[in-house]
């Protein structure tokens, strides 16, 4: 296949996701691709950075995760996602929209590639006075921020002491450079904070799709299959089945 000229490559749109280990099966990648294809007009390339390619649909380009060479046995805090900031990520060029595997796309995605900003991320839901972003959805130019990863490699012990996870470090690093910006609040709501009705109405009212939602974020103890099935245990908040998840979370 001929390589596109530099001008065409710089204008290309890429949707990135990442799958490592066994927590998420290939169905998460396949459903994410299906949702993106239904909600993003025009051409794009869908790329999964992964260590396991079995079962992933052929429309998805699977590429290896660049190694971070982290110490063995450390807690998983999302550090692996920083590999997307490799200076030369498999020779990819253009704009990249990163999506976590467990999101549910419910609305149009085109403006995620055109909304102004050098680096865009979700603003923290629980403590909006902090600069920290939620890295379930972020956008950047491929190869534009290699210093994020270079500093991480050279100061990992210091970073682990000061930041709980990758998104806290990433937000702080780019904020200090004046590059951190946030998506419009309605675009990426939290299922946990914005979909589940308040007590006690959660016992008879099912979770809703928040107005203006385009990508619903699942974080904490509840993922799309849990939301679809509902939850009746006493440890966490009671949730009636969110039947709308089935309408969107499919190949």
**Taking the domains of the chain in order of start, what are their residue ranges?**
6-182, 191-248
pLDDT at position 177 is 97
Mean model confidence pLDDT for the chain = 92
Which SS3 state, helix, strand or coil, does residue 116 take?
Answer: coil
Instruction: For residue 232, name the pLDDT band (cuts at 50, 70, 90).
Output: confident
> Do residues 125 and 133 touch, judged by C-beta distance below 8 A?
no
pLDDT at position 48 is 98
Average the pLDDT over 27-54 and give the result.
Answer: 97
Average the pLDDT over 54-66 and give the result.
Answer: 97
**Strand pairing of 215-216 and 104-105?**
antiparallel
148-191: pLDDT as tens digits: 999 999 999 999 999 999 999 999 999 999 999 999 999 999 99
Tell me the whole-structure pTM to 2 decimals.
0.93
Count of CB atoms within 10 A of residue 68's CB? Answer: 15
Please classify residue 240 by burial: count the beta carbons closer than 10 Å to its beta carbon, then call 0-12 exposed, 13-18 middle and 19+ buried. Answer: middle
- Looking at the predicted structure, is the pLDDT value of residue 247 above 60? yes
- CA-CA distance, 237 to 155, in Å (whole number)? 39
106-125: pLDDT as tens digits: 999 999 999 999 999 999 88
Which SS3 state, helix, strand or coil, does residue 232 take?
Answer: coil
Which SS3 state, helix, strand or coil, does residue 215 take?
Answer: strand
pLDDT at position 233 is 66
User: Which top CATH class is 6-182?
Assistant: alpha beta
Question: In this predicted model, which residue has the larger pLDDT, 229 or 128?
Answer: 229
pLDDT at position 151 is 96
Count of CB atoms within 10 A of residue 247's CB? Answer: 10
Average the pLDDT over 216-223 and give the result.
Answer: 88
pLDDT at position 172 is 97
pLDDT at position 5 is 53
pLDDT at position 7 is 45
- Looking at the predicted structure, is the pLDDT value of residue 38 above 90? yes
C-alpha torsion angle, residues 164, 168, 173, 178 (rounded to 10): -160
- CA-CA distance, 219 to 221, in Å (whole number)? 7
Per-residue b or e along 155-181, where b marks 16 or more CB atoms closer than 10 Å to that residue's CB:
ebeebbeebebbbbbbbbbbeeeebbb
pLDDT at position 1 is 43
- Looking at the predicted structure, is the pLDDT value of residue 251 above 50? yes
């Amino acid at each position: 296949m001929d390589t596109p000229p530099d001008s065409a490559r710089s204008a290309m749109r890429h949707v990135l996701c990442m799958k490592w280990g066994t927590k998420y099966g290939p169905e998460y990648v396949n459903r994410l691709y299906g949702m993106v294809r239904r909600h993003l007009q025009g051409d794009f390339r869908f790329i999964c950075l992964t260590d396991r390619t079995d079962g992933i649909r052929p429309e998805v380009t699977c590429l290896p995760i660049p190694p971070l060479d982290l110490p063995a046995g450390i807690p998983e805090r999302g550090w692996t996602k920083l590999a997307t900031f490799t200076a030369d990520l498999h020779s990819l060029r253009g704009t990249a929209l990163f999506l976590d595997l467990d999101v549910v796309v419910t609305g149009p995605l085109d403006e995620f590639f055109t909304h102004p900003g050098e680096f865009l991320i979700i603003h923290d839901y629980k403590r909006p006075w902090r600069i920290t972003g939620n890295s379930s959805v972020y956008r950047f130019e491929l190869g534009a921020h290699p210093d994020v990863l270079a500093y991480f490699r050279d100061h990992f012990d210091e970073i682990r002491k000061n930041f709980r996870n990758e998104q806290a470090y990433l937000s702080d690093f780019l904020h200090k450079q004046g590059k951190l910006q946030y998506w419009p609040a309605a675009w990426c709501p939290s299922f946990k904070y914005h979909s589940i009705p308040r007590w006690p109405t959660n016992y008879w009212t099912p979770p809703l799709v928040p107005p203006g939602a385009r990508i619903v974020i699942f974080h904490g103890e509840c993922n799309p299959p849990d939301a679809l099935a509902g939850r009746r245990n006493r440890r966490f908040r009671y949730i009636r089945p969110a039947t709308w998840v089935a309408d969107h979370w499919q190949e």
